[in-house]
Chain A
Amino acid sequence: MNLASSRLLLPRSLRHSSPLSYYSCSSSRRLLSTTPVAAPDGYTASNDEVARLATNPLKPLTLRDLVRFGRPPLSPQALLASARFTREFLPIRLCRRIVALRNLPFIIVSNPHVASIYDNYQQSLRIVQSFPVSHPNTLAEEVAFTEMLIDIVKTHANTIPTLARGFLECRRYISPAEATKFLDHHLRARIGTRLMAEQHIALHLASTTSSVTNNSPIDYDGGSDTYIGTIDTALQPAHIIESCASFVGDICELRYGVRPQLRIDGDPEVRFPYIPVHLEYIITELLKNAFRATVEAGSTVPIIVTIAAAPESAGITIRIRDQGGGIAPEDIGQIWSYSFSTFDQERSVAGGGNGGGTRDPAGDDALGRFNEVVGAAEGSSIAGLGYGLPLSRAYAEYFGGSLKVQSAFGWGTDVYLKLKGVGIGDFGGPGMEGLSGHHDDI
């Protein structure tokens, strides 16, 4: 909540001042590939090495992997083990993305946006590989490693919108279906990769008092002892729903002058282990849709959020029910597609070629502006691109959950978010293995 509010207060120029900030595409390629940390010893991954690493076996990331080093504060040994685990598997994941990009048609990767992402991945791989295998072995090395991770996480913050813009510009040369498939795969793979990096960063922050804290890109609640890195082992969905609702309500009030009411029923007390930033992102997206529909339908009926807890902590279901008029049947087929194919068509580069052109990086339709302001955990970078639902579903499905939308056109919409929980308190109860990244990059 605090994080989100503070983002809201940032001037727009600042919010876009990530390393990927740009206005003109023509000369942006070099600019885009700036990387905060240079590879210390000039190490370069050869093409062969990328191909070899990419074929290394890779299991989907599981919550068990994330908690295997124990509850923070970690002992130096455990912290180093976590770092080495990340050091071992991060390059494989990066290589797989590099290979996927390399297999795209040449004309696509020549696009400055896509090329910048390709460069980012190559660069990140170089940096990680510059750490010797089976390191870090000392706490000093570990600090350097963590700082490097933080830089990588930041560098890749805008990957999806940048890729989407690239594909948008290339839409003459790649079918929407192919582009969607690539983006979807990339996005899902990226969830695991980021999680792996962020988990170590969070474990580091919770286990040491080193100075990298100020530089952290992630929302880490260091004061709570229910956290294991990025995972809150006693996450209370009602709490997140309330804070997201209050935040989205603020935006609504600001933009529309009204604040729809929201009621939580079912089992508001329930707690389960999950990654708060993921849930926060999903809930914010879903509430944005529900609030906006309610306001635009002129409805005063409260949005009802029902929390259901399955027996034996098997998981939770959250139903968000609004009376905002539902979704027209002709639009229902579109809700899961990345709207880059239709996004801002009028304003995008007329030739659709790689020459680029000058345009506002943010979406400019009404929803786009709304989304842009409301952009949550994933960062405002995604905002305005109509990514909310497909990305939310990707997050939900990552650990075996689901997201379904049911519309009664002329009345309202019901959204069903299912998330699996596990007995994480003992670091690996039954069902833990099942809780893996189903759509992970394997």
Chain B
Amino acid sequence: MYSTCRSRSFQSSAVHQWRSSVVLDSYVEKPARPISLRQLIFFGGRNLDERRIIDFANYVRSELPVRIAHRIRDMQKLPYVVVTNRHLSEVYELYYSAFDAFRKIPEIKTVEDNDNFCQVVKRTLKEHLTVIPSLAMGVLECRDLVPPEELDKFMNRILRSRISRRVIAEQHLALTDTFNSPFHFPDSSPHHHTGADFVGEVFPRCNAREVVETVGKHAQDLAREANGPDSRVPEIQIEGHLDTTFPYILSHIEYIIGELLRNSIQATVDRHSSAAELPPIKILICHAPQHVIFRVSDRGGGVPADELADLWSFAKGPRPQARLQNFSQVPKMAATLQELQKTSHTHSRREGQDSSLSTLTSRPPHLRLGMGLPMSRVYAEYWAGSLELHSLEGYGTDVFLQISKLGNKSEQLNLDGV
């Protein structure tokens, strides 16, 4: 599936398949219907039964084509020269195929219908694994054609929408799994706590320290793989409120922490290559009433002042050619690393979760893409969090990741940023 997508998109970058815009128009006219966190939980939990599964399936079935249609229209409004960029063109085709596939699915009436629907959802999720690197490369290649600010806005919108679609899709897959599992009995499922630490299937209770340790070890391993088995990696020291737990999408928090640690490790290794000892990376976990805060402090020399301004941009920033070169190696790995992921890396625990992130997380640390920080910020902000960086140029960097404790907010929070 992956290879066919690629070859199709490369055969001609100038001419897209002609499609009537009438069908798309009718979907673009429909507003997306955001789902609240509370609704998301309500569909699952002890309320899970056949009717709810089918209700939710139909919600996802009707919602996905609408949300994709809006993003297709976004792309259609970009200059022709941008959309015919080979990478963006690939995304455009993927989106249009998905749009066509989902809009043609008839109403789901039975559990069997739903199982078929889930097959389409899974297939599409997998097909779209390459979307993030493709978007990022496209935006980099087009940065002289469109004001970078506009490209960044486009990128933010399309990524947020992507998160929103994948969350409801993955929630539905998870619910269906639970429903189909032989151990599922209504009212007795051990998964469905209602406590503040647990919000439905997609938001398991995450242990802050475990996340840092797991991701940290993974990042250290990757650095050793890349720099040689005898190479040194900085120690990762954790302090603060070590028993902090919070409900979150595991792959999201792992991706963000992974990117931060990857940056810190590589910066530390580069800066202290000749020193006898590598200064440790220090991570503070702070459990505030409404938030969990991660502070990552390294002594990797900081960010040069002239790079600070573009740090959060997908389109701007230094060394675009080198980054593109690095990017070109990521999509090729998507399929295989995806396989690897399931067997060797403990932190991709749930099949079907946003595993394109795992692909990125698993790339060697010297493959600098320049999108770790902006991507991480999109993911952090999506769930009402924040990501800030302070550079002590000539010394090191502090990054503050603030996570909202979603469990506390499930009543009022409408986080589905479609």
Contact with A317, one of B291, B388, B392 (Cβ below 8 angstroms): B392
**Any A CB within 8 A of the CB of B287:** yes
Q: Given known contacts A308-B302, A315-B305, A329-B291, is B286 in contact with A410 (CB within 8 Å)?
A: yes
State whether A311 touches B394 (Cβ < 8 A).
yes
Residues of A within 8 A of B400 (CB): 406, 408
Q: How far is the CA of A266 from the CA of B395 in the complex (A)?
A: 7
Most buried by B among A308, A408, A409, A416: A408
**Any A CB within 8 A of the CB of B240:** yes
Q: How far is the CA of A414 from the CA of B390 in the complex (A)?
A: 10
Q: Given known contacts A329-B291, A408-B293, is B393 in contact with A314 (CB within 8 Å)?
A: yes
Q: Given known contacts A315-B393, A317-B395, A329-B291, is B286 in contact with A406 (CB within 8 Å)?
A: no
Main secondary structure of the interface of B (DSSP, over half): strand
Residues of B within 8 A of A306 (CB): 392, 395
State whether B394 touches A309 (Cβ < 8 A).
yes
Residues of B within 8 A of A253 (CB): none
Q: Which residue of A lies closest to B287 (CB)?
A: A410
**Any A CB within 8 A of the CB of B192:** no
A321 to chain B, nearest CB (A): 9
Residues of B within 8 A of A314 (CB): 305, 393
State whether B295 touches A408 (Cβ < 8 A).
yes
**Any A CB within 8 A of the CB of B290:** yes
Which residues of A383-418 are within 8 A (CB) of B?
Answer: 404, 406, 408-411, 414, 416
**Any A CB within 8 A of the CB of B79:** no
Residues of A within 8 A of B240 (CB): 408, 411
Q: Given known contacts A406-B400, A411-B284, is B394 in contact with A267 (CB within 8 Å)?
A: yes
State whether B396 touches A308 (Cβ < 8 A).
yes
**Any A CB within 8 A of the CB of B162:** no
State whether B390 touches A416 (Cβ < 8 A).
yes
Q: Which residue of B lies closest to A309 (CB)?
A: B394
Q: Count of A residues near B, CB < 8 Å?
A: 22
Residues of B within 8 A of A326 (CB): 286, 288
State whether A317 touches B295 (Cβ < 8 A).
no
Q: Which residue of B lies closest to A314 (CB)?
A: B305
A5 to chain B, nearest CB (A): 31
Q: Count of B residues near A, CB < 8 Å?
A: 24
Contact with B395, one of A267, A329, A406, A409 (Cβ below 8 angstroms): A267
B102 to chain A, nearest CB (A): 40
**Any B CB within 8 A of the CB of A188:** no
State whether B394 touches A319 (Cβ < 8 A).
no
**Any A CB within 8 A of the CB of B228:** no
Q: How far is the CA of A404 from the CA of B391 in the complex (A)?
A: 11
B-contact bits for A280-319, CB 8 A (1 contact / 0 none): 0000000000000000000000000011111100110101
A238 to chain B, nearest CB (A): 14
Residues of B within 8 A of A308 (CB): 302, 392-396
Residues of A within 8 A of B395 (CB): 266-267, 306-309, 317
Residues of A within 8 A of B396 (CB): 308
State whether A416 touches B289 (Cβ < 8 A).
no
Q: How far is the CA of A315 from the CA of B398 in the complex (A)?
A: 18
Q: How far is the CA of A230 from the CA of B302 in the complex (A)?
A: 31
Q: How far is the CA of A404 from the CA of B389 in the complex (A)?
A: 11
Residues of B within 8 A of A414 (CB): 295, 390, 398
Q: How far is the CA of A406 from the CA of B390 in the complex (A)?
A: 9
Residues of B within 8 A of A310 (CB): 302, 304-305, 393-394
B positions within 8 Å CB-CB of A: 240-241, 284, 286-291, 293, 295, 302, 304-305, 388, 390-396, 398, 400
In the A-B complex, the 8 residue pairs with the closest CB atoms: A308-B395, A308-B392, A310-B393, A408-B286, A409-B288, A411-B286, A317-B392, A310-B394
CB-defined A-B contacts under 8 Å, sample of 7: A308-B394, A311-B393, A314-B393, A317-B393, A329-B290, A408-B293, A411-B240
